[in-house]
Amino acid sequence: MSLTPEQQAEIDAQRAGGAQTLRAVSPGMEAHLYKAHEVLDHGFVRVVDYMGDDAAICQAARVSYGKGTKSVQNDEGLIRYLMRHWHSTPFEMCEVKFHVKLPIFVARQWIRHRTANVNEYSARYSILDREFYIPAPEHLAAQSVINNQGRGAVLEGEEAVRVLDLLKADANRAYDHYEAMISQDGQQGLARELARMNLPANIYTQWYWKIDLHNLFHFLRLRADHHAQYEIRVYAEAICKIVADWVPFAYAAFEDYRMGGATLSVRALDCVRRMLAGEEVTEETSGMSKGEWREFLAVIGAKR
Amino acid sequence: MSLTPEQQAEIDAQRAGGAQTLRAVSPGMEAHLYKAHEVLDHGFVRVVDYMGDDAAICQAARVSYGKGTKSVQNDEGLIRYLMRHWHSTPFEMCEVKFHVKLPIFVARQWIRHRTANVNEYSARYSILDREFYIPAPEHLAAQSVINNQGRGAVLEGEEAVRVLDLLKADANRAYDHYEAMISQDGQQGLARELARMNLPANIYTQWYWKIDLHNLFHFLRLRADHHAQYEIRVYAEAICKIVADWVPFAYAAFEDYRMGGATLSVRALDCVRRMLAGEEVTEETSGMSKGEWREFLAVIGAKR
Amino acid sequence: MSLTPEQQAEIDAQRAGGAQTLRAVSPGMEAHLYKAHEVLDHGFVRVVDYMGDDAAICQAARVSYGKGTKSVQNDEGLIRYLMRHWHSTPFEMCEVKFHVKLPIFVARQWIRHRTANVNEYSARYSILDREFYIPAPEHLAAQSVINNQGRGAVLEGEEAVRVLDLLKADANRAYDHYEAMISQDGQQGLARELARMNLPANIYTQWYWKIDLHNLFHFLRLRADHHAQYEIRVYAEAICKIVADWVPFAYAAFEDYRMGGATLSVRALDCVRRMLAGEEVTEETSGMSKGEWREFLAVIGAKR
Amino acid sequence: MSLTPEQQAEIDAQRAGGAQTLRAVSPGMEAHLYKAHEVLDHGFVRVVDYMGDDAAICQAARVSYGKGTKSVQNDEGLIRYLMRHWHSTPFEMCEVKFHVKLPIFVARQWIRHRTANVNEYSARYSILDREFYIPAPEHLAAQSVINNQGRGAVLEGEEAVRVLDLLKADANRAYDHYEAMISQDGQQGLARELARMNLPANIYTQWYWKIDLHNLFHFLRLRADHHAQYEIRVYAEAICKIVADWVPFAYAAFEDYRMGGATLSVRALDCVRRMLAGEEVTEETSGMSKGEWREFLAVIGAKR
C-alpha cells in the first residue's frame, strides 16, 4: 500500500470538492484527478492538475478567438495532420501536473528529460520513509546475454531467494543506521543532508512533475517503449492510460504515428522499394550492418 | 477597436459557458478569462486558460498530498520566503495561456523570451488584416540624446504631423500592394509566403503564448520596467494587472522583491555600509564608473 | 555583394591568425571559419566558432578519460548506432556559432527554434542598412493551388515585372522615409525604436546564433526539407554543407536516418507488410486518409 | 586518489598534443584543459573543451564581423555594463564542457539545473567502481538547530567515530552484495540495471556536463553560495577558479554584481533610504518579517 489513511483522506477531500470554471474541461481527466494509480510495490502516479483538451490543441493551431468553426477539417483530422507533419507547438498548449512516488534509481532516469518542471521532496530538509522497492519474483531478471543494456531470463531457485534476501536486508540495515545517525536522542545527531548518503537507490522519493503534452509524448515514446527498463516503463504505461482519457484524439494519433510507428533510413526505404519491386534482398545486398538488418526485419514483418 | 462583432460574439459565448471542475480555481482569474484587454490602437491581451493558484505554489513546495496543513508557516509567508530565496521551481507549477494581438516589431522583442510556447498566426497560410500600429501623438518620441537605446522628448509641431503622415501612408500603400500582388483576379497571384515581405513591422500579428509563472515574472521584470520600449511595456503592464488578480500573494512578493527591488554590487554594498557609518562617499571614492554611480544614487534615494 | 571591403578585411585578418590549442580540432571546419558563404541576394552564413568533432561525440557517449580505445565498436559505427536509437545527448556535446545575415521574414521563422542562443543586431540602438531581399525571377512563385502553405508555378510576363517593381519601389520608399524620420538635420528626429516600424519584412538583419549539434540537426531536418520555404531552405542547405565538413560521420548518419528517412505509422507499416505478403492494398483498404495515402505512396516508391 | 595510472596516462597524452586553430583561444583555459582538479575524497572536475573568451562575449554583443574596434567602450567596461543590466545573451555565447566525478547524492542536486547537456556513465550498461564518499572528520556535521535545511556543529567524540564506521561498513557491505548479485560465477547473475539499486547515494558516478557561461554563472551563484551543501559547494568553488582563468573580465563582473552582491526588496530599499536620512529604523518599523530583518542587517553591515 502506497498511501497512509491520512493521505487517502486528503485525496478524498479533494475529490469531494468541485467548483465552476469557464476553462476547457476534460471529463475523462476529471475522473482521474487526485486519484493515486499504484505502480510497483509502494509507488504511484496521480494527476494533480491539467490545462487544455483536444479542442484546445486545435484552437491554438488556428489561433482562434472562440471554440472555432467545426468546418471541413474537423478536430480529429486536424490533430492527426499536426502529429503526422511534426507540428509540435499546438501540442505544447496542453499541460499536466503529476504527483509521483518512485524509487530513486527510477527518478534518476526520469529527470534526464529536462523539459519539465520538478519539485522533489527534500531529504536535506525532511526525513525519508522506510519504503524500498523490492522486485516481485517475476521481475527479478538476469543480465541479458545479447544486450549489454538490458535484462534476460528471470532468476530462478536459490539465486532468486538469495538476491531478494540481500536486497531486503541491506535496505533495512541502511535505514536502521540512517535513523540511528540522525537520532538526537543522547547525541548531536548527524545532519540530514549527510545521513541520506547512506540510503540505497531503491528507497522511494516523490515529486511534483509538470510537463506539456508534446514533451510528455516524447517521454512516453522513450519510456513506454519495450526497450525501457521495466521499473520506469510501468510508470509510463500508467501515464499512457491517463492521457488516453484526457485527450483521446491526440493520444490515438500519438499511438499511430509515434508509439507504434517506425522510422526507416534511406537504406531501409531503398530495401522496401526493391522488395516491393520483387527483388530478393539479403543482409549482404541491403547495405546495412548486422544490427540494422535485424531491426529492419522486425519492422517490416516479424514485429506485430 | 481590436475585435470584430463576430469575434466578440465568440468570446461572449465562451464566457457564457461554465462547467464543474475538481481543479484549483482562481476566482480572480475566472473574471478575466477570454476577455480582451485592449492595448495600443488595435492590440489586446486575453487569458485563454490557466493552471494553479497561490495555494498550488505552496502545495508543490511542500510536495503535499492534499491542500496541506495551514500550520505556522502560512501560504503568504511561504510564498514570500520562496521568492526571497530564489526558489523558483514552485512558481513554475502555475501556467497561463494568453491570446495576444500585437505589432510585429513588438512580437520580435517578445519572442526572445524562449522559455514559452507559441503558436503564431501564419502569414504563409493566411492573409493578414489591414491593421497597423500608429503611435498616439503623445508617444511619438524623439531619439534620446543621453541613451542610444531609448527615446526622449515628444515630437512637436510639423515634424510630428509629417511622421504620422509618412507612417500611415507607407503602411497603407504597402498593404494595397500586398493585396494587389496576391490577388488571383486576372493573374496568377504571388504566393502569400512571398507577398508578406512587403508588409512593414507595424502590422499586427497574433499568437497564443503559454508560459509558467516563474518565467512570466522574469518577462514582466524586464518588460514592465521603465527602460523597456513603451510599445511592449503596455502589454506587460496589462499582464501585471491580470496576474495580480490570479495569484495575489505571489504577485505581491514579486512586486516587493523583484519589480521594485534592486541588486547592489559588492562595491555598492560597500558604499552603503560606509555611508551608514557616517562616511561621505563620492563618485571618486566609490570605486564605481560614472554610469554605475548615477544608477547607485537613484537606487538609494532619488528613485521613488 | 553582402560584405563591404572593410568587413572582408576584418574577416581576412581573422583567417590570417591562428594559435596553438589542446582542444579537439576539426580540419574541415577550420577551413570554413569566418568565411562568409553567400545566401540570397545580400545574406550570408559564416562559422564564428565551434566546439568538438566526431571523436568528441564518442568520447561523451563513453564518458571517457582520454581519446578512448578504438575497439571493436569504432567511432563511425557508434555514431550510426547513437543516431539510429535516438540517443541524442552525445550529439549535444558539439556546439557551433554562426554569424548570419538574413531578411527579417526569414529571421521570424528561424527564431521559432528556441533551443539556441541568439544575439541580434539592435534596431533600437543602431540604424539598419538599405538592403532588401528581392527574389530572383526564378523564385518569384505563385500561390500553390493544392497546398495552402506553399508556392506553385513561377510568375510570368508582366505580372512578374509588376511584382518586382512594387517590391523594389516600396522597400526603397520605406527606407527613404525611415531615413527622413530619424534625421536630426533641422528637426528632433524620431526615435530609432519607433522609426524601424516603417521598414518592410524583407530588410536584412543579422545575428550571432549558437546551437548544439543535436538541435541543429533538428533545425536542418525541418528547414532543409523540400516543404520549407525556399528563402530559409537555402540557409539550411548552406549550413548542411558546413556540417558535413565539420563532423562527417555524424552528418552522414543524419542524412541516412533523419534527412532522407521516413517515419511510417502503424497503418503504414501494416500496409507495407501486407504488400510484401503479396496483397494488393488500395487507398480504400489502407485505412488511411486521402492525404496520408498520397504521402505513403511517395515514401515507398515515387519519392527518390 | 581519484585517477588510475591508466587514466592519468590518457590525460597526459591529451595534454602532450596540440594543434593549430583559427578560433579564439584562452591561454588561461588551455593551462587547465584535461587536468583533473581533485574534489572530495575520490572526485574531480576537469575541463574537456571550451568555446570563446572575454572578447567573444563582446563580439556577440556587437554582432561584429571581426575582432571589433577597441573604441571608447573597451571590452572590460562593456562586460561590466552587460552584467549590470542583466543582458544575458552575450554570456550565452561562451560554452564549456566538464568531466566530473561526484557522489550520486551530489549529482542529484546538480542535475536540477536543466539548462545543460549531460552524458552520465551508465550503471545499466557498466559496473560501478567501489568508491564512496566518506566525509572527512571536520565535515561530519550535526543537523542545524536553527535551519531545517542545513548543518551545525561538527560531530564529536564517539558519535563521530560511530557514524564514520557505519558509513564505511554499510557502503562496503552494499558493494560486496552488489558484486555478489551480478556475478555470473556459478549462477545466472542479476541484471546490472537491477543490482545498482542496492548501492548507496554516496557511491561515485561521473558525467560529461556542458553548459553556457550565463547558465554556469547561475549555477555558481547558487552552488558556490555559503548556503549550499558543502559537498556540492566544493565542486562549484573548483569551477569558479577555472572560470576566473578562462574569462577574467566576465568572472570579475560576476563576482562584483552577482556572487558578492545582494538584492534589496522595496521594503529594504526604503529602510536604507530612511537610515541614510538619519532615521533609527528597527525591526518593528521596518515592515519586514523577523527573518527578512535578520538577513537585511547582514547585508548592510555584519556580512563582510
Residue C278 pLDDT > 50: yes
* Helices marked H in B142-254: 157-182, 192-195, 213-223, 230-246, 248-254
For residue A51, what is the nearest residue in chain B, using CA coordinates?
B51
Residue C1: the pLDDT is 60
Label residue A64 by pLDDT band (50, 70, 90).
confident
Average pLDDT over residues C125-146: 94
* Cβ-based contacts of C295 with chain A (< 8 Å): 84
- Specify whether the CB–CB gap between A26 and A49 falls below 8 A: no
pLDDT of res. B64 = 84
Are A35 and A11 within 8 A, CB to CB? yes
Lowest mean per-residue pLDDT among A38-52, A56-70, B153-167, C235-249: A56-70
Q: Cα–Cα distance between D277 and D272 in angstroms, integer?
A: 9
Confidence of residue C74 (pLDDT cuts 50, 70, 90): confident
Three-state DSSP at A287 gives coil
Taking residues B247-262, report their average pLDDT. 95
Q: Which CATH number fits domain A5-133+202-259: 3.40.720.10, 3.20.20.70, 3.30.1360.170, 3.40.50.1580?
A: 3.30.1360.170
Q: What are the start-end ranges of the H helices in B63-156? A: 75-84, 104-110
- Segment (H or E) for D21: strand D19-21
What's the grid cell of residue B304? Answer: 521613488
Catalytic entry in A114, A124, A151, A223: A223
Contact between residue D95 and residue C213 where contact means Cβ atoms under 8 Å apart = no
Q: Which residue has the higher pLDDT, B233 or A65?
A: B233
Instruction: Mark yes or no for CB contact D208/C60 under 8 Å.
Output: yes
pLDDT computed for residue C68 by the predictor: 58
Which helix (H) or strand (E) covers residue B290, if one does? helix B290-297
Give residue-wise pLDDT tens across range C211-242. 999 999 999 999 999 989 999 999 999 999 99
pLDDT tens-digit series, residues C281-302: 999 999 999 989 999 999 998 4
Average pLDDT of chain C to the nearest whole number:
93
Cβ-based contacts under 8 A for chains A and B: 146
In this prediction, residue B47 carries a pLDDT of: 98
Considering only CB atoms, which chain A residues are within 8 Å of D153?
Answer: 188
Contact D33 C23 (CB under 8 A): yes
The mean pLDDT of C126-142, rounded to a whole number, is: 96
Share of chain B above pLDDT 90, in %: 88
The mean predicted confidence, pLDDT, of chain B is 93
Note the pLDDT tens digit of each residue in B86-132.
999 999 999 999 999 999 999 999 999 989 999 999 999 899 999 99
Q: What residues of D are in the B interface, CB distance below 8 Å? A: 77, 80-81, 84, 86, 89, 112, 222, 255-257, 260-269, 272-273, 275-276, 289, 291-292, 295, 299-301
Nearest to C174 by CA among B154, B207, B132: B132
Cβ neighbours for D183, distance < 8 A, ≥ 6 positions apart: D189
Yes or no, beta carbons of A191 and D103 under 8 Å apart: no
- Would you place residue C303 in the very low, low, confident or very high pLDDT band (cuts 50, 70, 90)? very low
Residues in B touching D220 (Cβ below 8 Å): none
pLDDT number for residue D159: 96
Q: Which three cell numbers stand for residue D118?
A: 549531460
pLDDT at D303: 41
Closest-CA residue of chain C to A260: C266
pLDDT at A136: 96
Beta strands in chain A (DSSP E): 19-21, 37-39, 43-51, 95-103, 117-120, 141-143, 151-154, 204-212, 262-264
What is the pLDDT, as a whole number, of residue C104?
A: 98
- Percent of chain C at pLDDT exceeding 70: 96
Average pLDDT score over residue span B215-227: 95
Indicate yes or no: CB of B269 within 8 angstroms of CB of D289: no
The predicted-structure confidence for C197-216, as pLDDT tens digits, reads as follows 999 999 999 999 999 999 99
Helix (H) or strand (E) holding C220: helix C213-223
- CA angle, residues D282, D283, D289, in degrees to nearest 5: 160
B151 is catalytic: no
Four-CA torsion B44, B50, B55, B61, nearest 10 degrees: -110
- For the cut 60, the answer to whether the pLDDT of residue C69 exceeds it is no
Those residues of chain D that have pLDDT short of 50 are 72, 302-304
pLDDT at A56 over 70: yes
pLDDT band for C162, please (50, 70, 90 cuts): very high
Report whether pLDDT(C70) > 60: no
pTM of the model: 0.96
Q: Give, to the nearest 10 degrees, the angle between helix B266-276 and helix B290-297.
A: 50
Give C118 or D302, the one with higher predicted confidence: C118
Question: Contact, A259 vs A223, CB < 8 A?
Answer: no
Integer Cα distance of A194 and D229 in angstroms: 9
Share of chain A above pLDDT 90, in %: 88
C-alpha closest to that of C199 among C123, C255, C141: C123
Per-residue confidence at C72, pLDDT binned at 50, 70, 90? very low
* pLDDT tens digits, A130-181: 999 999 999 999 998 877 778 999 999 999 999 999 999 999 999 999 999 9
Contacts of C215 in chain B (CB under 8 A): none
Check residue D66 and give its pLDDT. 75
Closest CA to C239 of C42, C27, C37: C37
Per-residue CA distances from D274 to B242, B258, C280, D284 (Å): 33, 20, 88, 14
Model ipTM value: 0.94
Catalytic residue among C223, C273, C294, C304: C223
pLDDT tens, position by position, A266-281: 999 999 999 999 999 9
Neighbours of chain B (3+ CB pairs under 8 A): A, C, D
The three cell numbers locating residue A4: 497512509
Nearest CA in chain B to D299: B269
pLDDT of residue C147: 76
Q: How many CB atoms lie within 10 A of CB B131?
A: 17
Report the side by side order of strands in the sheet with A43-51: A37-39, A43-51, A95-103, A204-212, A117-120
pLDDT in tens, B38-84: 999 999 999 999 999 999 999 999 998 777 555 545 899 999 999 99
Decide if pLDDT at B152 tops 70. yes
**Closest chain D C-alpha to B208 CA, distance in angstroms:** 24
Selecting among D84, D223, D258, D274, the annotated active-site residue is D223
- Cell numbers of B54, please? 497561490
pLDDT the model gives residue A304:
33
Per-residue confidence band for C304, with pLDDT thresholds at 50, 70 and 90:
very low
- Give the per-residue pLDDT at A201: 98
C149 pLDDT tier (thresholds 50, 70, 90): confident
**Domain-by-domain residue ranges, chain D?**
5-133+202-259, 134-198, 266-302
